[in-house]
Amino acid sequence: MDFFEAQARAKQRTARLVVLFVFAVIGTILAAYLAGVLLLRWAGPADTGLSFNDSPVWDPDALAGWWHPRLFTGITGTTVIVVGLASLFKWLQYSSGGSVVAESLGGRRIEPGAVNPAERRLLNVVEEMAIASGTPVPAVYVLDDEPAINAFAAGLTTNDAVVAVTRGTLEKLNRDELQGVVGHEFSHILNGDMRLNMRLTALIFGILIIGVLGRTVLQGLRYVRPGRSKEKGGGAILIGAGLALMIVGYLGYFFGRLIQAAVSRQREFLADAAAVQFTRNPAGITGALKKIGGYALGGKMQSAHSAEIGHFFFAQAFGSFFGGLWATHPPLTERIRAIDASFAGEFFEPPERVDIGRESFVSAGLVPARPGPAAAPAVPPPLPPAAATAAVAAAGSLTPEQIAHAQILVEGIPAGLREAARQPENVAALLCGLLLADDPATRAGQRRLVAARAGAGTSPLAQLDALEPWLGRLPAAGRLPLVQLALPAVRRLPPAELAALFETLDELVHADGTVTVFEFALQKLLLRSLELGRNPAAAMVDFHSFAPLAGDLSVLLSALAQTATAAPAAAFAAGAGQLPLVAAQLAFSGTGDLAKLDTSLDRLARASPAIKQAALRAAAIVIGHDGHIAISEAELLRAVAAALDCPVPPLLAA
């Protein structure tokens, strides 16, 4: 799966969705107009007691006909305004990110220090998938009141995404099956389905609101007492108007549900196939689907809001009416046979078992982790140049090799650091500890900065002292994955604490007067991820051609060339050769100014996916020009990718 092609397809699907929505609105307008004409013909001037000669809406001379221009104009304008405002309201409600969706269904966020073995297992699987794909670790929720087997991913970008599973998923699936389900949801995260789902929900809500208004009018008339004849006629008109609104609204809702189902069904096959590709274990996802078919509840959700977001879920979450026309998911048998052609249609309920073959007691949370003997991290060998281009080509994808590599990276991080990364009360000290210099004098000054920035009642130096033995054992390749693990905890910090933390980190970075590649990468990864997590709308496209970005591309390639190779001019030229449309406008600056790079990356982040893809390919050529890639160079490439909102996985040696 190509990340950049997936983004382009998501944009095309969004355009088609808008077209379908426009047709649904047009149908709603026509139905409302027909209802209005019939209502007028049924009521007439005598029943309403109104003077048609003074009315701006309809013409009494044309009452016997079917065409009323002013009535049509009024209904059209009112419908567009009501539907538009309702859709905008729902979109703004969801603009805070995926957590809003999870919490609207009663989701409980799993805290990093969870001791429940099933919850710890889920966190481990999600973290491994995130690190393997190069995305920020999403928040993880469990729907405690849902005994069925189901899950969903929600969010506007990879930085505000959440993965939510039901209690039944935790209790009934083993690790392989859970990994298959999570892989399915990561497919939706990586290929742009989440944002499309949010838009689809907002648009359908806009159509539904007309029916809700009609139902509200009818409910209000229950309290109206009969009065004079004229008032009775007015009441009849109101009842007729309410019925018309409700019928028209739910007619539009019917077609909106058809759109929802049509958009959703085919993507489920693709996500199932992606989950198999990610894990190379077809039995995982097919086992989950067979259990859904074998249990009485299946994937059916109890929440009243499940139908509203039914297209988000892993499995059909509500009863499908009209012969399956509203089904947001293909039948289970079709999904299983698409993966396993030998499936004979037999669903079953596998026995519960301890999944010790794939997971240690420590990683499952059955026993607490214990510190091992201190050992200096081995210096990793440099990576081959092909590792960078392969990582860029793998943006937005997951392979079993990447997942296995992510598991190795996570297991290589000392247990004490993993726990600190998952706890908001310790994550600030951890990030500060990652920036402590080796030079004793500089390190002492940095420790004084941390102490001076501490809030009341905190003991940051004591936290640093507790983490230092672990930090000394942290492999260089585990530094950025550790920052990824820390992102959910950082997002939980109050705004004041977060602002103080970033100010402290900036002072620690500049304490020795220089900015290293890792320091730049850490700050850029944190700032960009948190910015998009708070404001997903910041991910916009302003540049569709290379020309306006020639200066920024020059800064990017120059900084990479100066940092990554002893022959920067030649490396720059090799990278520029990957951008033929703008190569003549690129100029090697001869400096590796990371401050300028920071500004240029902010502009490049607003470029189209095709420009980002070309820029990352050129960057990969630059850092591999000298025949090898050091860990610091790999970190810089991944920081650049994160700044461009492109999930590049950790570089593999082979």
Contacts 24+ apart (CB under 8 A), 327-334: 327/261, 327/265, 328/260, 328/261, 328/264, 328/265, 329/264, 329/265, 329/268, 330/265, 330/268, 330/269, 332/289, 332/290, 332/292, 332/293, 333/293
Residue 550 pLDDT exceeds 90? yes
Range in 22-26, 475-479, 582-586 the model is least confident about: 22-26
Residue 166 pLDDT exceeds 90? yes
Helix (H) / strand (E) element for 141: namely strand 139-143
Residue 91 pLDDT exceeds 50? yes
Which CATH number covers residue 123? 3.30.2010.10
Beta strands 151-154 and 139-143: pairing type?
unpaired
Whether residues 105 and 82 share a domain: the answer is no
How far, in Å, CA of 592 to CA of 284, rounded?
47
How far, in Å, CA of 436 to CA of 465, rounded?
12
Residue 388 pLDDT exceeds 60? yes
Does 395 reside within a domain? yes
pLDDT of 354: 43
Residues 585/634, Cβ–Cβ less than 8 Å: no
Whether residues 280 and 157 share a domain: the answer is yes
Mean pLDDT confidence for 458-471: 81
Task: Read off the tokens for 385.
Answer: 């140049």
Whether residues 405 and 492 share a domain: the answer is yes
What residues contact 553, with CB distance under 8 A and at least 6 apart? 546, 579, 582, 586, 600, 604, 615, 618
DSSP class of residue 377 equals P
pLDDT of 625: 87
- 489, 515, 541 — which closes off a domain? 515
Residue 454 pLDDT exceeds 70? no
pLDDT of 376: 46
Residue 182 pLDDT exceeds 90? yes
pLDDT of 370: 41
Q: What is the pTM of this model?
A: 0.74
- Reported as a single tens digit per residue, the pLDDT across 56-83 is 444 444 445 677 788 788 888 888 888 8
Residue 126 pLDDT exceeds 80? yes
pLDDT of 448: 86
Number of domains in the chain: 3
- Locate tokens 């469990």: which residue? 142
Does 438 reside within a domain? yes
Domain around 224: 3-96+197-266
Whether residues 71 and 113 share a domain: the answer is no
pLDDT of 184: 92
Task: Read off the tokens for 566.
Answer: 């002893």
Residue 51 pLDDT class (50, 70, 90 cuts)? very low
Does 604 reside within a domain? no
Residue 164, phi then psi, degrees to nearest 5: -125, 140
Residue 170 pLDDT exceeds 50? yes
Residue 223 pLDDT class (50, 70, 90 cuts)? low
Amino acid 189 reads I
Whether residues 261 and 134 share a domain: the answer is no
Does 231 reside within a domain? yes
Residue 338 pLDDT class (50, 70, 90 cuts)? confident
Query: What region, left, alpha or beta, does residue 377 occupy, with left being phi > 0 and alpha being psi -120 to 50 degrees?
Result: beta
What residues contact 237, with CB distance under 8 A and at least 6 apart? 39, 43, 47, 48
- 455, 483, 515 — which closes off a domain? 515
Task: Read off the tokens for 473.
Answer: 């054992």
Residue 365 pLDDT exceeds 90? no
Does 21 reside within a domain? yes
Residue 462 pLDDT exceeds 60? yes
Catalytic residue among 119, 127, 128, 185: 185
pLDDT of 125: 93
Does 342 reside within a domain? no
Mean pLDDT confidence for 179-197: 87
Instruction: Judge whether 128 counts as a catalytic residue.
Output: no
Residue 241, phi then psi, degrees to nearest 5: -65, -40
Helix (H) / strand (E) element for 142: namely strand 139-143
How far, in Å, CA of 320 to CA of 313, rounded?
14
How far, in Å, CA of 16 to CA of 56, rounded?
37
Residue 165 pLDDT class (50, 70, 90 cuts)? very high
How far, in Å, CA of 613 to CA of 188, rounded?
20
Mean pLDDT confidence for 448-462: 69
Residues 304/310, Cβ–Cβ less than 8 Å: no
CA distances for 293 relative to 105, 298, 349, 365, angstroms: 23, 6, 9, 29
Range in 359-368, 502-511, 540-549 the model is least confident about: 359-368
Whether residues 38 and 160 share a domain: the answer is no
> Around 198, how many Cα atoms within 13 Å sit in the side-chain half-sphere?
31
- Reported as a single tens digit per residue, the pLDDT across 587-624 is 988 766 677 888 898 899 889 888 999 999 999 999 88
Which of 133, 185, 191 is CA-nearest to residue 14?
191
- How much of the chain exceeds pLDDT 90, in percent? 17
Range in 215-224, 303-312, 337-346, 410-419 the model is least confident about: 215-224
pLDDT of 309: 79
Does 525 reside within a domain? no
pLDDT of 152: 93
Whether residues 419 and 505 share a domain: the answer is yes
Whether residues 425 and 282 share a domain: the answer is no
Whether residues 103 and 91 share a domain: the answer is no
Which of residues 184 and 645 earns the better pLDDT score? Answer: 184
- 461, 495, 515 — which closes off a domain? 515
Which of residues 128 and 112 earns the better pLDDT score? Answer: 128
- Reported as a single tens digit per residue, the pLDDT across 238-271 is 666 666 767 776 677 677 777 777 777 777 888 8
Mean pLDDT confidence for 203-224: 67
Q: How far from the centroid of its chain's Cα atoms is residue 543's Cα? A: 23
How far, in Å, CA of 376 to CA of 475, rounded?
8
Residues 121/127, Cβ–Cβ less than 8 Å: no
Residue 234 pLDDT exceeds 70? no
- Reported as a single tens digit per residue, the pLDDT across 139-162 is 999 999 898 899 999 998 888 899
Question: To the nearest whole number, what is the mean pLDDT of the chain?
Answer: 79
pLDDT of 281: 87
According to the 3-state scheme, what is the secondary structure of 53-75?
HHCCCCCHHHCCCCCCHHHHHHH
Residue 87 pLDDT exceeds 80? yes
- How much of the chain exceeds pLDDT 70, in percent? 76
Residue 37 pLDDT exceeds 60? yes
Mean pLDDT confidence for 557-576: 86
pLDDT of 111: 83
How far, in Å, CA of 365 to CA of 121, rounded?
7
pLDDT of 31: 79
Q: How far from the centroid of its chain's Cα atoms is residue 197's Cα? A: 11
Secondary-structure breakdown of the chain: helix, strand, coil percentages, each rounded to the nearest 5: 65, 5, 35
Whether residues 423 and 504 share a domain: the answer is yes
Whether residues 437 and 503 share a domain: the answer is yes
Whether residues 53 and 113 share a domain: the answer is no
Task: Read off the tokens for 69.
Answer: 């221009």
Does 636 reside within a domain? no
What is the tally of helices (H) and strands (E) in the chain?
Answer: 24, 4
Residue 627 pLDDT exceeds 60? yes
